[in-house]
Amino acid sequence: MNSASASRDPAADDTRLARLAPLAALSPARLAELAAATRSARSARGSDPLAEHGSNEHAVFLLRGEILLFFAGGGSLVVVGGSGDGLHPLNRRQATVVRSKAITDLELLLIDDDALDIAVTWDQVAAGGGAPAGAIREAVRSDARVGSGAFSLENLRHGVFAQLPAARIEELLRRFERVTARRGEMLIREGEEGDWFYVIESGKCQVERMVGGVRVAVAELRSGDTFGEEALVSQAKRNASVTMLADGELLRLAKGDFTQLLAEPLLHRVGWAAACDKVAAGALWLDVRYPSEYQHDRLAGAINVPLSEVRNSFTVLDPGAEYVVYCQSGRRSSAATFLFAQRGFKVWLLEGGLWAAQRAGAR
């Protein structure tokens, strides 16, 4: 009988994790984060632990006990916990494991595959293959604030960097600059040309817009949040001002580097015909223009989320749905598409917006 006790184990402590082969090179800060993505499990002698725990969503490590693995095509292997093959995932082997048998009572550790892969990927890229380590590389690998900063595991999984192709990570780390900002400092000003993209590493900021001649606070941003992307993606002027509410440190990326390394990889463009096919297959139109424009000539079934309200809609829209984003020209929709994409939404950008569709005679 399998005891099947699988639970989160904050005491899947760093020293235990550090002994596992894929994790040996990770910093203590990253190991502490990864511990939150682990579960412990116990299996009784005679059970088949991998039948219960060997899913495609996590890697299974043997911490204590002995297990017999049976491979496709014949052959078997005894693995002892805490040493040798026990330091590698039981269910991630060159030969396919078709069955397992607990020789003794077992203690297992289950680590979320996605979290494990992201942590190892960023750490290895940040190591730089012997290249000189810059401040940003050091922040990724060993900064004590990594658990809550821009490069926390949570942000790497679900934030601005989550959709970044792995091939671009090293260049991104090379081009980011770290800057210190003081309380009260205005980082970007509404109406100015956009020049930088920012990620908050520490501290907090306030976003304000002029409404009827009065400056109105519309959002507060904290560690891991980003700002400045709308103007860079849409090639428009800044639509808000951002001021530091507390001393902090920011990472910034120049406009050209942002477009090359972050914006374009996240903007999946489609023409009118392909967009209509996607909607016919179940995707939703997302109109990011002003409500007055939306009311005048919206596409059938479209949802209206003005660009200025995109950040407030992340918890309202269905993250499991697929969206085709549009505006008049494609400028506002490109900025909105980037914002949604970096939060993990499956979004497509209608190339050229409604104007392009009209020029093609599609509407």
pLDDT tier at 10 (50, 70, 90 boundaries)? very low
Would the pTM of this model clear 0.75, i.e. be above it? Answer: no
Q: Decide if pLDDT at 65 tops 80.
A: yes
pLDDT at res. 11? 41
pLDDT tier at 36 (50, 70, 90 boundaries)? confident
Q: 11: how many CB neighbours lie within 10 A of its CB?
A: 10
Helices (H), 159-312: 169-175, 229-234, 255-258, 264-266, 272-280, 291-297
The CA distance from 229 to 232, in Å, is 5
By mean pLDDT, which of 153-162, 184-193, 238-247 is the weakest? 153-162
Q: Decide if pLDDT at 55 tops 80.
A: no
pLDDT tier at 184 (50, 70, 90 boundaries)? very high
The CA distance from 121 to 286, in Å, is 34
The CA distance from 340 to 274, in Å, is 20
Give CA separation, 90 vs 20, 27, 47, 263, in Å: 12, 24, 15, 39
The CA distance from 117 to 89, in Å, is 13
More confidently predicted of 176 and 323: 323
pLDDT at res. 361? 66
The CA distance from 331 to 351, in Å, is 10
Q: What is the per-residue pLDDT across 249-302, written as a single tens digit (0 to 9) for each?
A: 998 999 999 888 888 888 899 999 999 999 999 999 999 998 989 998 899 999
Q: Decide if pLDDT at 28 tops 70.
A: yes
Please state at what angle helix 113-127 crosses helix 135-142, rounded to 10 degrees: 150
Which of the given ranges, 127-141, 232-246, 279-293, has the highest pLDDT on average?
279-293
Residue 276 annotated among the catalytic residues of the structure: no
Q: Decide if pLDDT at 37 tops 80.
A: yes
Q: Give the SS3 label for residue 131.
A: coil
Give all domains of the chain, ordered by start, each with its CATH number.
7-115 (2.60.120.10), 134-262 (2.60.120.10), 267-359 (3.40.250.10)
Degrees to nearest 5, angle at CA 153 with 109 and 108 = 0
The CA distance from 245 to 292, in Å, is 34
User: For residue 85, with 0-12 CB atoms within 10 Å meaning exposed, 13-18 middle and 19 or more buried, which class applies?
Assistant: middle
Given a contact cutoff of 8 angstroms between Cβ atoms, the answer to whether 3 and 42 are in contact is yes
The CA distance from 306 to 136, in Å, is 34
pLDDT at res. 1? 37
Average pLDDT over residues 148-160: 75
Which one of 307, 327, 336, 354 is the catalytic residue?
327
By mean pLDDT, which of 78-87, 93-102, 123-132, 223-232 is the weakest? 123-132
Helices (H), 221-363: 229-234, 255-258, 264-266, 272-280, 291-297, 331-342, 353-359
Mean residue pLDDT of the chain comes to 84
Q: 316: how many CB neighbours lie within 10 A of its CB?
A: 9
More confidently predicted of 338 and 13: 338
pLDDT at res. 144? 44
Degrees to nearest 5, angle at CA 20 with 134 and 91 = 120
Q: Decide if pLDDT at 166 tops 70.
A: no
The CA distance from 201 to 180, in Å, is 10
